[in-house]
Structure 1
Amino acid sequence: MGSRALQGVCGSVPCARSCRTMVRRQAGSHNSTDWQQRATQLLQAGIHALWEITAVGTLWEPCGRPFYRPTMVTDRAHRSPTYPCARLALAALRRYWRSFHHAIRCACMPVEPDVARNWFMRPWLLGIAAHQPIRRTSGGPTNDFRYKAFISYSWADKTWAGWLHRVLEAYRPPKGMNVAARPLYPIFKDREEEAAGASIGASIEAALGASEFLIVLCSPRAVASPWVNHEVAWFKIHRDPKKILALIVGGEPGSSQTPAEAADACFPASLLYQVNADLLATEVLADAPLAADARAHGDGKRLAKLKLAAAMLGVGLDTLVQRDDRRRAARRRLLLVGLMALSTVLAGLSIFAFNQRDAALHARNQAVASKQEAEFQRDQAQGLVEFMVTDLRKRLDAVGRLDVLEAVGSQLADFYAKQNLATLNPDALGRRARVQLLLGEVDNLRGNLDPALARYREAAATTQELLRRDPDNQQRIFDHAQAVFWVGQIAWQRGDATTARSFWTQYYAQAQRLVALDPDKDDWQAELMYADSNLGTLDMDQGDAKAAAAHFAQSLSRSIKIYGEAPQTAQAAIELGQSYSWLANALFHQAKLDEAQAARRAELAVYARANQGNPGRADIKKRESIARYDLADMLLAAGQIEEATTEAKVAVELADGIRSKDPENLGLADRASLAHTLLGEAYGHAGQTGAARQQLAAAIAIADRLVAKDESIVRWRGKVGALPRLILARLEARSDQPTTASATYLRLTSSLRPLLAAGTSKQSIESIYCAALAGQARLAPQNHGANWQEIIAMLGPKPERHSPKTLTVLAEALVNSERADTAKSIVAKLYQAGYRHPEFMALLNIYPVLSPP
């Protein structure tokens, strides 16, 4: 449909469509005017209006409550309020008289007979006549037209139509024009486009009939639109052609209707030519239309609007333009005055705002300064924390002051206790976790394993969450690796090898990630070095010295790569020395005595160089003490009793010296007990029984204090506490005190048997237990003959996993069980390796059959 006419006269889109469809079905078979039916229509309209007046008394609602009637749909809905009491009838009579008058006018229009008859057969279709009386527009002159104008346009020009509809209805003429405030309201503009039919629908016909003017939007699209041509033709036939106004929105006005120029033509044929009764354009030219051109290169939108307004208002264009210009100038002056006043107000407000801004800036600067100061203080505090958990901690380790280290840790814990953990950044939370590890280590060194484990687990939970949030952050990986190591350390101390391996395997994996992320960083290489030594330690505990030696060799290789053969710092020397230490233990366990001694002496050489530049460091002295008594043990294995005694004395002197400065450090007490044990054993084999008893008694006293502190630590109940008692029992047996020795052996087996039953993986406990069983069997073969079978059952399945001392006990059990050949094989390997321990040599003296050829 070229001009998308408004909805149907009954006020709804479905009604409008049904009206048009009905008209199209009925059109085409009636070509003459039936005046008899016209009269019938007049009569029916009158009867209908009287019926409405009669029934009006039943329509009103109390006290002016409005009811709504269907209206012809325009861009604005119309409501008619009812009137109560006596005013209702008068108002309704006036309103429906207008309806009756308009019905007569509509009935007199030359339309198809069947269409007219159908209107009054269904009165609700005639919205104008039956339901919506013509009203005077607000403030405008009284006329008989429902609409000021009907806009006819092609659907392709709907944007222009929408603009025109808005500006005309909103237009208010300048003062002094003697017209209504909104004289161009309402304007009819359809909302939907229908396909062209044989005739115009009833709704569009009614709208055209109710419009004073017809405004045609002229463009090549309008030329091609059959609806635009039909609407113009209908208006020419039934209304005044002078009321047709044209507005050019596209095309060229001078183009002809010839096929060559038709594409640029803008005036529809029905506008240029006269039309016949069939609403078709003839070849007779009509008066040339005077059109406004709304395009930018034409009149422009403003002048085009004024031209149309002047035509519809019946005033001169010049007058309207001049008055509109004066109004615009007056508005500009008012606007200028308003802007000046507003500028004055804004200037005052600006001055006030500037003052407020300056005050706010000053306050903000103070707040920023305060924040910066707070951040500075926080950074300083965090930096101090970092110093305490790193550099200061290393220095305190060097002097061996556990009490000072604990004081530092407690201060740091109090510092974080006052912080809101939710506001701490990840770095601060990581430092807090390191403080927890520090305090846990202090508890661990004091033998308080349960509090230590609680702190380790809390730190591990924190570092795990931080690592989850930032999985590739190297510091987060490092922090979490430390936490899982210490949790595994507690499990290892308690003899839980399975749990220890689980956590230390995690530690190894995190160390590998660190090296993968930054392979050139020595600190990360050191972490992988520690991880290798940890796994080697677990293998040693389970008797797999070969696998342990592989881990320790890898750890030593990394240590030499990081620190070189001659480390420049004390800490580097300690790390390198520890790598030699673990490798020496693994080699000694495999009876590789010469290699083991070489590794141990290399360790001592590292400490000697470190002591030259760092005299008096407690951490170096502690490790030198351990290396000395381990070397004493190796020397005893080689039969070098005097040299072993000398090394053991140095070890005891170092251990007691550093322990006296830090008596609460139970780790130092642990090492001191073993040093006294080795010295007591050396004295015993050297024939110095009194000195031996004294050293062994000192070792037992230290061990008992450790066990009393925490019985859950298997090492203290096993190697540290049981080994000096085993050596003492042997000394008593050699000193013709069999009863005392037997009682000592019995106490040993009774105390160690529960540990073995609990699945403790410490191989040293098996070795001491079997040695105690052998001691019982030697003293009372008639009562403890079954001990040899128990020893064979425990040690025989995997002899390659046991140390030379343990294999000596196994060989004795085998020879006492009439399995001398197997015993000779074990003895031969030990003898060939250079093993000459006094206990081993005593076995060969007792059982000559075992002596190598």
Structure 2
Amino acid sequence: MQSSEDPAFFSFGDWTVRPSQRSIERQDERVVLEPKLIDVLTYLAGTGGEVVSTEQLLAACWRGTFYGDNPVHKTMALLRKALQDDARSPRYIATVRKRGYQVVAKVAFADARERATVSRRSWNDGSPFRGLLAFGSDDRDVFFGRARATAELLRAIRRSDADGCAFVLVAGPSGCGKSSLVQAGIVPALLGEAGHDGLRATAWTSFVARTPTSPLVDTLAGALCRWAPGGRPVFVDSERPALGKALVNDLDFVIERIEREVPAGNGRLLLVVDAMEGLLTQASEQVTATIAALDRLARSGRVIVLGTCRNDFYPQLMAIPGLLALKHDGGSYDLAPPTQGEMAQIIRLPARAAGLHFGRDPHGERMLDDVLLEAACRHVTALPLLQYTLQALYEAKDEDGTLTFAAYEAMGGLEGALAQRAERIHDSLDARAIRAFPRLLHRLVAVAGDGDGVTARTVRWIDIDDDEQHAVRQLIDARLLVSLLEDDEPCFTLAHEALLRHWPRVAEWVQTHRADLRARARIAEMAARWSTEGQRREHLIPRGQLLADAKRLSREAHPPLDATQARFIGLSLRQARFTMMTLAGMAAAIAVLALISTFAAVNARKAERHAEARRADAESLLDFMLGDMNERLDALGRLDLLDEVTHRAMQVMGGHDWKSDAPDAVLRQAKALREIGEIRFARGDSDGAIEAFQNADTSLVHLVAGHPDQAEAYAERGKLAYWRGQIAFGRGKTDETAKEWNNYLEQATLRAKLEPDVPDAWLELSYAHNCLGSLAQRTNHAEDATREFELSSSLKRRVLGMQPTDRKTWLELADTMGWEASVEQQRGKLRDTLSHYMQEREAVLAARESGDPTNLWLYRRALADLHVARAHADLGMVVQAESDYTAAATTFAQLVRDVPDNRKWQRDLALTRSQQGWLAYGVGDTALALRRYADAGDMLQKLLAVDAKVSDWRTLLAVNRTWESMAHLRMGELVPAAAAVNEALGLFGDVPATAASNRVLRALADMTAGEIARQQGDAGTASTHLDRALTELRPRAEKSTDPRVLDPYVRVATLLGHQDEAAPYLERLRQSGYRSPAFEMFVNHSNQGKIQ
């Protein structure tokens, strides 16, 4: 039995209820409830003893689908049986005749507040709603719906404090209520007389990390000066300058002062660092010093440090030196959006406390709170919109305190309230303010330099001109902006970041200016680092799109770049020109040296030694270009820079006697050809790559025939076989792939026998097994795949035993773990799949080098994030999946911006965007899903314009179009739905029987086409598509445990009315833990008879 410390619990009479475990307990009894029973019990517990109608329960727990009240009656009977309650003499839940149900048991939640004490008119301080503002510490009496999160976070704080590092980072989507949870939930709980479970704070302070009014350390110092336990300040305000210096240079002084003012046993001081994503825009030395200070404070035994951050910035935050270790030793808490039951409390209980009533729809007889609840539950980011709408309804309430339907409809409902009000305010601005508005947006809006996240800035009044000040005053009066004091400096910022997403005028402006905002942010960050770290050349902007953007911004930016940034860009441009001249010079040097040696050899026998020396110089330079420089540029993803140089070198080699009978010369030439092939492949020229690989292999065949003990020749032949197989694999030619990769295995085995003590030989052999495993998996030979992956993994671990700190081997082991995870997914072992992918990510992190991460490592981390995201999504863990997808997309986008010619990175970014769309579709955000599909489609079409033969790209686009069609179908848009799925079917074409996974994906497209035809009234076409999909999927599903097969099969069987046939396969999915949001929505709709 769990301890009462479990955070997700509340008491219900003499029972302890644990929603997260779906169980109720008392003494030695424990009963596990069905999901619907625990939902109803949790909802009733939060109603404060009010009578709840069956309609309310249907709206809250059955998603507002009204099909009679029998499900409620049946559920209540089962719930009473589990509680051992008696309807005639109730101890827990009473039936109120003709009205509904009422909780009569005493209910206490984990934050020690009894909901039964919420009574009408217990709040008399104006509106119980906060609009776009966060709830504060004085708003506890109207802060509802977060009892579970409060208890869980309090437990995390207590645990981190007990472990000696009292730091907890609260992460969650924008608008999920992080600041409100901390200020109205945690702060009052810890500051209460008894504190929480023995942990008590005597004073608290906070600061916002994105504040730009002073250096970050000085902002922290200002916050610490506001600590005053018992009215006695720990640091007086006059000490602020000295305290700022001490936080950098003398933390012992800071801690000694705190220990003197707050003796052991006298409670804790609480420090809240809000919006920690703002650290990403601050100077690196300030961030480093601030994190070091927070770390020391959290480990002092006197201070609790709480941070909040948006989870889309979480990966970048964890790259800040020191913060990852602080979070690891302390703790973190992922705040999910409110559940339906919690959302019902957020809507109803503050209104009850303030004596407000919800009106009834005069046409449909629905209550306004039910309508609000249903609208809020459609979107995971609805909380700011809901609070704003409730505040607007409060302002428009009638004389008896009723929030009316008329007001709700007039403001455009939940989605329209904020946008309509904001647009109305904008239109009311005078001409002077309207002209200044775009300039204000440039100041208020920040886009992270290495991601897509949009945040609000805090701006100082002294930094804006008179026209802007005029506009700001009007916007503050209208409550779209808020004025605040930061470090005694008057500032302003957006009332809530929801304005950036839900005000179309601003959202469109951000989209239009996103590239410039991102480029400007990255340039500012890089320039600050360059300036503070000795203005070293390696910190200048490398060649690429960012440098081009910097050049343009240096001429056109408004407001203009500062002097440091302008000089930084000027030096970066100068270095880029110098680099190009150097590369050109090196290429020319190779040619000149080779020509000199050739000329000398042909025209003067007496100069043979001199020519040999020149040739050796040329060969050495070529070795450098294809060795050290190649590795460095490969880590940056910039192999294209070597393309022209290598071509020139090979032209020289082709016309020169390079002693082709000498093994070293043959190997050098073969390696050069392989490098050319890799570069051409990376740039989408598969045919050119094959030509280079084949020429290299031809020279090596003759070498091996004459020198069978040449281990390096076998190594090169194996690599060439790998690349030929990779190209065939990408084109869907599985037989050719198998031939090449078995050749790869043969060559690698021969090399390992010749070099048993060389780690790289065993590593190459592991690669060959990994390739064959991936091919076996692609062709649905799971046992063969498992065997090959296990062999590959054991060989890599053997290499790590020989060189345990080798980062390259850790990355390769991560790759194999990823393949092992994909096999577990085919077997339907989704928890094991997630575990393997988490191990893959840990192995990638183990390969992290000191200093700035290379592009290669960033790519592997993004790939691991993408794998974990999909595994989380399959298990229905939406919040975690969204966070991991965002991390992957952010990193892929950064890589593509840095190296626009890398097709592999473009492909993976497109895949991530498409999967983000599928997740959005599953949680009901169809508009976002369509935007994601459009982004992915654009990227994939550009790739196919480079090389239309790559079947992998065609398949990804086909799947994307299929999902896009499903989204249009949900919205009732049959014409674009049909166009999208027809394009998908055209892209799939005639899929070979050996391409099993593609045939399953084509069946999904057929199923979608059948749904569309059915809705268009074309029964014949619908039957053709659906029967073809069923025929394809049925034999595959019979022996399969793979959700990628079972999911579409259950769908198509259900659409054809074969529910009994689908039932055992649905159960197979349930047993595997498969809870993909899109599939769950389909099943729910099918149960309700409204499949779409």
TM-score (norm 2): 0.42
Q: Which moved more, 1:835-844 or 1:669-678?
A: 835-844
SS in 2 for 1:639: coil
Equivalent pair of 2:722/2:741 in contact (CA under 8 Å): yes
Deviation sequence 1:805-843 (CA, Å, 0-9, x none): 331111233344565444222221211011111232234
Query: How far off is 1:589 after superposition?
Result: 2.5
Q: Does 1:597 align with 2:834?
A: yes
C-alpha spacing 1:682/1:817, structure 2 compared with 1 (3 Å): closer
- Residue matched to 1:823: 1062
Q: For 1:627 and 1:817, how far apart are their aligned partners in 2? A: 38
- Residue matched to 1:723: 959
- Residue matched to 2:800: 563
- Residues paired across the two proteins, number: 480
SS in 2 for 1:784: helix
Q: For 1:696 and 1:849, how far apart are their aligned partners in 2? A: 28
- Residue matched to 1:492: 729
- Residue matched to 1:739: 975
Q: For 1:397 and 1:590, how far apart are their aligned partners in 2? A: 36
- Residue matched to 1:663: 900
Query: For 1:763-842, what aligned pairs fall within 5 Å after superposition?
Result: 763-781=996-1014, 782=1019, 783-799=1021-1037, 800=1039, 803-817=1042-1056, 819-842=1058-1081
Query: For 1:46-445, what aligned pairs fall within 5 Å after superposition?
Result: 371-421=608-658, 423=660, 425-445=662-682
Letter in 1 for 2:1002: Y
Query: How far off is 1:376 after superposition?
Result: 4.0
C-alpha spacing 1:745/1:423, structure 2 compared with 1 (3 Å): closer
Deviation sequence 1:485-521 (CA, Å, 0-9, x none): 2222221111111011101101111111112222222
Deviation sequence 1:269-313 (CA, Å, 0-9, x none): xxxxxxxxxxxxxxxxxxxxxxxxxxxxxxxxxxxxxxxxxxxxx
Equivalent pair of 1:437/1:483 in contact (CA under 8 Å): yes
Query: How far off is 1:390 after superposition?
Result: 3.1
C-alpha spacing 1:536/1:595, structure 2 compared with 1 (3 Å): same
Query: How far off is 1:745 after superposition?
Result: 1.4
Equivalent pair of 2:796/2:813 in contact (CA under 8 Å): yes
Q: For 2:1052 and 2:964, how far apart are their aligned partners in 1? A: 21
- Residue matched to 1:520: 757
SS in 2 for 1:611: coil
SS in 1 for 2:1075: coil
Letter in 1 for 2:1008: G
Q: Does 1:574 align with 2:811?
A: yes
Query: How far off is 1:384 after superposition?
Result: 3.4
| TM-align CA RMSD | 2.5
- Residue matched to 1:110: none
Q: For 1:369 and 1:569, how far apart are their aligned partners in 2? A: 49
Letter in 1 for 2:624: F
Deviation sequence 1:381-401 (CA, Å, 0-9, x none): 333333333332221111111
Deviation sequence 1:3-26 (CA, Å, 0-9, x none): xxxxxxxxxxxxxxxxxxxxxxxx
Query: For 1:499-514, what aligned pairs fall within 5 Å after superposition?
Result: 499-514=736-751
Equivalent pair of 2:958/2:985 in contact (CA under 8 Å): no
Letter in 2 for 1:661: D
Query: How far off is 1:375 after superposition?
Result: 3.7
Q: For 1:447 and 1:836, how far apart are their aligned partners in 2? A: 37
Q: For 1:581 and 1:412, how far apart are their aligned partners in 2? A: 38
Q: Does 1:451 align with 2:684?
A: no
C-alpha spacing 1:382/1:801, structure 2 compared with 1 (3 Å): farther
SS in 2 for 1:808: helix
The gaps in structure 1 that reach 5 residues or longer are 1-366
Query: How far off is 1:372 after superposition?
Result: 4.6
Greater Rg over alpha carbons, structure: 1
Q: For 2:768 and 2:851, how far apart are their aligned partners in 1? A: 27
Corresponding residue to 1:683 among 886, 904, 920: 920
Letter in 2 for 1:748: A
Q: For 1:703 and 1:819, how far apart are their aligned partners in 2? A: 36
Q: For 1:686 and 1:440, how far apart are their aligned partners in 2? A: 44
Equivalent pair of 1:496/1:760 in contact (CA under 8 Å): no
Query: How far off is 1:373 after superposition?
Result: 4.5
Query: How far off is 1:705 after superposition?
Result: 0.8
Equivalent pair of 2:759/2:802 in contact (CA under 8 Å): no
Q: For 1:707 and 1:773, how far apart are their aligned partners in 2? A: 23
C-alpha spacing 1:407/1:774, structure 2 compared with 1 (3 Å): same
Equivalent pair of 1:626/1:675 in contact (CA under 8 Å): no
Query: How far off is 1:614 after superposition?
Result: 5.1
C-alpha spacing 1:762/1:659, structure 2 compared with 1 (3 Å): farther
Letter in 2 for 1:729: S
Query: How far off is 1:585 after superposition?
Result: 1.8
Corresponding residue to 1:714 among 951, 954, 975: 951
Q: For 2:1031 and 2:965, how far apart are their aligned partners in 1? A: 24
Letter in 1 for 2:1031: A
Equivalent pair of 1:543/1:802 in contact (CA under 8 Å): no
SS in 2 for 1:798: helix
- Residue matched to 2:772: 535
C-alpha spacing 1:408/1:573, structure 2 compared with 1 (3 Å): farther
Query: How far off is 1:609 after superposition?
Result: 3.0
The gaps in structure 2 that reach 5 residues or longer are 1-603
Q: For 1:410 and 1:563, how far apart are their aligned partners in 2? A: 37
C-alpha spacing 1:380/1:760, structure 2 compared with 1 (3 Å): farther
Q: For 1:723 and 1:499, how far apart are their aligned partners in 2? A: 25
Q: For 1:801 and 1:387, how far apart are their aligned partners in 2? A: 51
SS in 2 for 1:835: coil
Query: How far off is 1:768 after superposition?
Result: 2.2
Q: For 2:866 and 2:722, how far apart are their aligned partners in 1? A: 27
C-alpha spacing 1:549/1:572, structure 2 compared with 1 (3 Å): same
Equivalent pair of 1:471/1:477 in contact (CA under 8 Å): no
Equivalent pair of 2:1007/2:1026 in contact (CA under 8 Å): yes
Corresponding residue to 1:749 among 985, 989, 1001: 985
C-alpha spacing 1:726/1:408, structure 2 compared with 1 (3 Å): same
SS in 2 for 1:613: coil
Q: For 2:1058 and 2:1064, how far apart are their aligned partners in 1? A: 10
Query: How far off is 1:448 after superposition?
Result: 1.0
- Residue matched to 1:130: none
Q: For 1:565 and 1:469, how far apart are their aligned partners in 2? A: 32
- Residue matched to 1:544: 781
C-alpha spacing 1:600/1:565, structure 2 compared with 1 (3 Å): farther
Letter in 2 for 1:725: R
Query: How far off is 1:460 after superposition?
Result: 1.4
SS in 2 for 1:563: helix
Q: For 2:1040 and 2:620, how far apart are their aligned partners in 1? A: 49
Q: Does 1:619 align with 2:856?
A: yes
SS in 1 for 2:624: helix
Equivalent pair of 1:570/1:620 in contact (CA under 8 Å): no
C-alpha spacing 1:461/1:698, structure 2 compared with 1 (3 Å): same
